[in-house]
Every structure is written in structure tokens, then in C-alpha cells.
Amino acid sequence: GGSPGGVPELFSCPVCQKSFGFQRMLNRHLKCHSDVKRHLCPYCGKGFNDTFDLKRHVRTHTGVRPYKCSLCEKAFTQRCSLESHLKKIHGVAQRYAYKERRAKLYVCEECGGTADSQDAHLAHLRQRHPHSPLLAKLARKAA
């Protein structure tokens, strides 16, 4: 059941007809039509269905830009924004093998500091932000 010309099958939203290349992307999109917004922004109260979307939004309030360009002074709130900047401005394309995991960056949402392991991230929070609600949340998760 492939489609002509080798174009991948598209998964269409029954609400707005927007199409996605993967079922998981459609599933994520469908949440935007739900009235139940479980994750609220602590700064402005805007609601989100997804913790990823909330985190991205909160950075517009905090100014946290953890993804720094190694070739110029620019910094970005999301890895994909840095990657598109590198390609468009510096002509550098990031290449990842199929299903290769990119190195995870642990970002301090308090100050924008970064760590490359959860242990280092927790140590940073304990030392620099001992009263952060994030610390309690992460400590529970790590236990």
C-alpha cells in the first residue's frame, strides 16, 4: 500500500486536515485540539498539553538560550533552531545516522547553565539553586 512516486503515506488530522509523515507526530498534534491543558506556565498561566511545549514557552519568559553557536555569538532556546541557523548562516549541516541519539544536554531553567549528565545537573541545582522547585521535582524523579 505505498503511494505513487515514493511519497510517504501521510497521517491527516480529522479536525483540521493538517498532514503528518508519522503517526506519532499526528498524535502529538491532536493534543492541540483538546481543551484540557494540563501544563500551565508559572509566569503567565498559558496552558499546554505537552511538557516540551511548556518548556519551550517558559524560555520566552526566562530568556534561557542553552544552544550556543560555536561559530558566532548567537544562542537559541531549541536545538533545532541552532541547527537551522548553522545550516542557513554558516553552511554547516548536522548529520546524524538513522536513529542516532544526539548528546543530551541538561539545561538549568533557572539560569541557562548546561550539563552533559543528570548527576552534574543535579549537583549544579543543589549548589546554585538550593530552593528551586525544579530541584525537588528532579530529586523525586531520580529517586
In the DSSP assignment, the letter for residue 14 is T
State residue 8's pLDDT score.
60
CA angle in degrees (0–180, nearest 5) for 56-61-65: 60
State residue 101's pLDDT score.
64
Contacts of 73 (CB under 8 A, 6+ apart): none
Q: Give the tens place of pLDDT for each residue, 74-130.
A: 999 988 899 999 999 999 987 766 666 677 888 888 898 889 998 999 999 999 999
pLDDT band at 1, cuts 50/70/90? very low
User: What CATH topology corresponds to 9-60?
Assistant: Double Stranded RNA Binding Domain (3.30.160)
